[in-house]
Every structure is written in C-alpha cells, then in structure tokens.
Chain A
Amino acid sequence: MNKGFTVWFTGSSGSGKSAISQLLGKKLKEWGRNVEILDGDVVRTNLCQGLDFRKQDQDIYAQRIAFVCKLLTRNGVAVISVAISPYQESRENARKEIGNFVEVYTKCPTEVCAQRDVEGMHQKALKGEIQDFPGASDPYEEPLKPDLVVETDKETAEESTNKIINKLIELGYLNPKGSVTHVYSSEEEDKIKERLSRLGYI
C-alpha cells in the first residue's frame, strides 16, 4: 500500500491555496495515488457547519479536519487540506495528530490577496460582515517552520505545485513513476548502471 500523507495548506484567503491544491490533486492522481481534497469551503458546509472565524471555532475546525486527515492518511490516501488555519498551535496539533504531515505555506502579501479576493472575503471582512477574519480583521500567524513555502505572488500555480511534488519525493511520501529509490540500494543501482552502460542503454 502507498504511504499516506497529508499536505496541509495554510495561508490567507486569496493566497492561492485552492488553485494549487486542485493542480496538486490532479498531478497526484497522475502519479497513481488515491487523493482526497478537503477544501475549506466544502468542509464548512458539511463537517464544520455553523462554525465561524472566531479563534475558538477555528480551533475546533482544525481539530475536526485533522481527525479526518488522520483516518485517510493511515489508509494510504494522499490528503490535501485546504484551509486558512491561521493559528500556529492548531497546526502543530494537527501535525502531531496526523503524523505524515507536510505543512505548505502559501505566502502572499495581504494586498495581493485582497486584490485577488476571489470569494469577496476580504471585502466582507472590511465591511464588518465577517468578524475575526484572518489576514484582514484578525491576525494570521505565519508558520514558524513550514515544510515548504510557496510564494504565490512570484510563482505560477504550476511552479508551486512542482515544488510540492519535489518536496513529497524528498520526504519519501511520493514514489513517482520511473523512480526506483525504494527498490534499488545504491550498490544495486551501481550494478544496474554498469550493466546498462555496457549494453548501451545509458
């Protein structure tokens, strides 16, 4: 069975989490993985209905998501969690709960996020229609030690996604097609290289 893992996106609204997560999900499927994307908006209307952006609710939200991620991860699924998750403590708790946890920070200046404002969240927060909105009317705690930072105002979604794929390979969660890092030891790989060189394949 494939090794399960959770890519836990964190970043302000408008920082590009959803766009990258969709692309990442597509690529992971191409890699032959079973993928579940727990997108914040979808989760809010189902698993976390009634919760808002207050800290207490945000913590409950993160706990519930982490619990689902844990179940899926331990069953070999490649899980992608897409939520602002603004608090360091709740992200650390999720890391402990899930185990195979890759924190990806979608870093983007607030003004760029506000300009994008795809869902109109920033506008609503500024008008007072949403209370305690992280990154607008409430602080967003930047990750202290994320596994990866993608700078979405400087990178394309494709580029950010490739960085995540490379990180997953580096961490041993992803075994891309054609890769044999888990099959051949370095000594065996040397033997194969030598043989294929003699045969002219390399």
Chain B
Amino acid sequence: MVINKKKVFVLGLDSVPPELLFDRWLNQLPNIKRLISQSRYGEMKSTIPAITCPAWMSMMTSADPGRLGIYGFRNRSSYDYDGLSFANSKAVNVDTVWGILSKMGKKVVVIGVPMTYPPQPVNGCMVTCFMTPDTKGEYTYPPELKDEVEAVSNGYMLDVDEFRSDNKESTLKEIYAMTHKRFRLTRHFIRSKEWDFFMMVEMGPDRIHHAFWKYFDQDHPKHVPGSKYQDAILNYYKYLDEEIGETFKLFNDDTMVLIVSDHGAKKMVGGICINEWLLQNGYLKLVHYPAEVTPFNKLIVDWENTMAWGEGGYYGRLFMNVKGREPKGVIAPQHYEHVRNELIKKLEDLRDENGNTIHTKVFKPEDIYSECNGIPPDLIVYYGDLFWRSIGSVGNGTIWADENDTGPDDANHSQYGIFIMQNGSDKEGVRLHGVTLYDIAPTILDYMRVKIPENMEGKVIA
C-alpha cells in the first residue's frame, strides 16, 4: 500500500494586494522572490464583498457567501429592524477543508482563520481568530492547548488593541508583536504537532494597510510627504519576508505551500454617508435629524415612511422596507424590483463633491451568488469601485466624508488578493491569471488526493 504523505501548508496573509507584493516591492523581499521563482502565482479574485468575513470561509469551503448565508461580519437574523448579528463558526454550514480532512482521519492544525470562533472539534488542534472575545475564555481546541499557546507565544494576541488611532507608534509596535507571536507559535506547532494540513492566517498586513497607507502612497488624498512612516508598510513586508523564510525552511519536498490573501487593499479616497444620501433622496425618514453624528442604530427612524436604509463598512449594504416582510414595510412586493432598480441607477450615478462620477458598482445578491441562504442584503454596493467606503452614521449634513466615522483609516479593500503555490514540482515561476479564491480548497484536496465535493465552486489550479 502506498501511503500518501503529501502535506499542505497554507499561510494566509490578510489583505495583501498583488500590486505591492508582485509589482512594487518584490525585489526587496528575497524569500518571497525565491519562492515565486519556483511557483505558480498571481492575483486572486475575492468574494463579493471583498471582506475578511466571509472571504476566508468562502476560500476554505469553495462556497460563495450566498451559499454560506454569510454576507459580512454581521448578518440579519430576522426581518425585524433590530440590527445585525455576528457571524461565527457555528454559522458555517458547509464543510471546510480541515473539516473534510478531519473526517478522513488526516491531522490538521488551524491558527487564526477568521470565523473559527468558537473553536470546533478537529482531528488535530485549532487556535481561533480575532473575532474571539478575549484570551481569558476558551479559544483553542482542545481547550487544554491554550496553556501551550500562551506559553510559547508569551501571551497570545488575537489582534492589535489600538488600530484606528493616531498613536502610530503604539499601533506599529502592536502589529509587529502580534505577527511575531503568531509566527513563533506556527513554527512551534510545525515542529511539535503531527499534521497533514496546516493553516495560519496573519491579520497584520490588513492592520498596517489601514493604519499607514497614506504615508507611502503619493496619490493618497491625505499623503504626508517625508513622513517617518513612509516605509512603514514596506519595512513590515520585509519583516514578513524574514518570518516566511524562517518558517519555510522547515518543510520538505512533499509539502505544498500556499500563500494566499482573502482580498487586496487600495487607498481610501473618502466615505459615502449612505443614510444621508437616502434621507436626501426621500427613501429614509427620521423622526428627528440628530444634532451630532450618530450611528444609525441610535436614530429614531420613521419606519412607516421609510423605503430603505443602509449599513456602513468597507462596502455598503442596502436593506429595503418591504410590505409583508419587514414589520412596518412600505414597498409593495410588486414594486420591489422597480424600487430596487431605481436605487441601483441612482447609486451608480453617485458623484463626488466636485460632480465627478465615482464609478459605483451595485450588485443584486441573486445575480452574484449560486443561492441566497439566510437573509441577504437587498443590494451590495461598492462605492467608487471600493475607493470609497460606506458610512452608516447620520449627522454630517452631507453625503461625503473625508473622515471615517470609526476613526482614522487610510485604506479600503480591493477585489484582488494574491496566491503563491509551490508544490515541489514547479521549477520556474509562472504568473497565472483568472484564479479565484474558490479554487484554493479543491486545489488543496486534489494535491492531497482527496475526493473534491461536487458542489465546490472552484477548480483545481493547473
């Protein structure tokens, strides 16, 4: 009998754009450059929305957000107006790669993959993600693994504490500390645990992009020339390169290594206050307009005269107030499509303060997903093709904001992340096009000679 000893190691780097890694800084990243020279690699299309949750889970299940019924960090759990509930590991009803492999008796290690809290049983071990409340509670499987995690990392960090802050020194220090701890733990587990599949996700790139993008990007509207932070992101990439070099020394030829990111990043030009826009266009009515900037869930909405409301975030979500669906719905079901199309047309014609179109894209969930489980938003909006973020709060008196309502933020997400795949047989670097994050799960299973579930939406990367 031939025993299949093929292993897969997946390093997830949240939010790495191909433009920076492959095109701008590769020559300064010797370990990644060497890896790429023996890999298939390229840009990788993310989910819509291109956001951490659900993107990592779509990657690891090869199921789109509609099939997962997970449209963002928070989702509607009923048609009431009570706001949104947090997604979590128990909401994932499609098999993950590590779930499939666990059932087959293969050993897995999973560290920090978003939407793994609360920890679920696996045939191996798991450390949960940044959506874990804190490290005082249970965040490992098995629970007794926690002591080892804390000892090896000298106090595990789920995420940085200060991120949307003007205290850049503190943010930078925390990002490095978090990344260092996670790689240290990863190398310890690579050496000490039995595994066929290993995956670790590091959130540091995402955090540093949001906090420091304006310092290096001369096209950023808030660019600060000559700042001492102008190389902050590049230096962090160099540091990542060192950690990757140290880690990849531990593998043999039977290990396929993948470096993947859930989405990319781009400069943030500004914010669109969607609820201000809906107010100005007569779709939303408030009992009182607030005296100061107020989160949407703190406003008193005149629901009986409201047709739509919006949620903030890196992308926008619009919900419509439909008769017979929402408690005080006003849009008759037979007029639903008409109103929805009217909203799309108007949103796609959104302008900046100077009257220039910003190329907003609006998606109907049923057009982009194979099915729509749970309660999808009625519309998904990429303001200014994701150069603009969505702002849900009201009180600015204008639809345009140059400051985010949740603190300083320089970057938004972009649709394309990266993948690098080295499986021991690649002797030269080949840049591929057309890869999507749905392709990662079937590619892993194929390499490990495991039957690919028929409903996986991606294809094996050739």
Q: Could you list which residues of chain A lie within 8 angstroms of chain B, going by C-beta atoms?
A: 30-32, 155-156, 158-159, 162, 165-166, 169, 175-184, 187-189, 191-192, 195-202
Contacts and interface: CB of A to CB of B under 8 A. Distances in A.
Interface in B388-443: 389, 404, 406-407, 409
Given A30-B374, A183-B88, A200 B409 contact: yes
Contact of B313 (A31, A155, A165, A202): A202
16 contacts: A30-B69, A162-B79, A162-B325, A176-B77, A177-B75, A177-B87, A178-B87, A179-B75, A179-B85, A183-B90, A183-B117, A195-B131, A196-B131, A198-B162, A200-B389, A202-B313
A201 B374 contact: no
Nearest to B83: A202
A180 B86 contact: yes
B163 A188 contact: no
B130 A195 contact: yes
A175 B159 contact: no
B409 A177 contact: no
Given A178-B69, A180-B91, A183-B117, 19 more contacts: A30-B374, A166-B80, A176-B77, A178-B86, A178-B374, A179-B75, A179-B85, A180-B86, A184-B88, A184-B133, A188-B133, A189-B86, A195-B159, A196-B73, A198-B162, A200-B313, A200-B389, A201-B52, A201-B314
A201 B78 CA distance: 21
A199 B86 contact: no
A183 B118 contact: yes
B409 to A, nearest CB: 5
Contacts of B75: 177-179
Contacts of A178: 69-71, 74-77, 84-87, 91, 374-375
A184 B68 CA distance: 20
A159 B326 CA distance: 8
Interface string B150-172: 00000000010111100000000
B12 interface: no
A160 B406 CA distance: 38
Contact of B77 (A158, A179, A199): A179
B324 interface: yes
B372 to A, nearest CB: 9
A175 B87 CA distance: 11
Contacts of B325: 158-159, 162
Contacts of B93: 32, 177
Interface in B78-137: 78-80, 84-88, 90-91, 93, 117-118, 130-131, 133-134, 137
Interface of B: 51-52, 68-71, 73-80, 84-88, 90-91, 93, 117-118, 130-131, 133-134, 137, 159, 161-164, 207, 210, 312-314, 324-325, 333, 373-375, 389, 404, 406-407, 409
A53 B389 CA distance: 63
Contacts of A156: 324, 333
Contacts of A192: 86, 131, 133
A196 B133 CA distance: 11
Contacts of A187: 133
A200 B210 contact: yes
Given A178-B75, A178-B374, A179-B77, A197 B134 contact: no
Main secondary structure of the interface of B (DSSP, over half): loop
A199 B233 CA distance: 18
Nearest to B78: A166
Contacts of B84: 178
Contacts of A31: 373-374
A182 B77 CA distance: 13
A179 B75 CA distance: 7
Contacts of A195: 130-131, 159
Given A30-B373, A200-B164, A177 B70 contact: yes
Q: Which of B52, B93, B133, B207 has the most CB of A within 10 A?
A: B133
A196 B159 CA distance: 11
A181 B70 CA distance: 16
Given A30-B373, A176-B374, A199-B163, A191 B134 contact: yes
Give the 9 A-B CB pairs with smallest separation, nearest first. Answer: A178-B75, A177-B69, A188-B133, A177-B374, A179-B77, A159-B324, A191-B133, A32-B93, A179-B85
Given A178-B75, A200-B164, A158 B80 contact: no
A181 B164 contact: no
B197 to A, nearest CB: 25
A192 B74 CA distance: 11
Nearest to B162: A198
A177 B404 contact: no
Contacts of A155: 324
A111 to B, nearest CB: 23
A199 B69 contact: no
A179 B313 contact: no
A171 to B, nearest CB: 13
B331 to A, nearest CB: 13
A102 to B, nearest CB: 16
Contact of A177 (B91, B117, B161): B91
Contact of B86 (A158, A169, A184): A184
A166 B85 CA distance: 14
A178 B375 CA distance: 9
A169 B133 contact: no
A200 B91 CA distance: 22
Contact of A169 (B78, B87, B134, B164): B78
B85 A181 contact: yes
Contacts of A166: 78-80
Contacts of B78: 162, 165-166, 169, 176
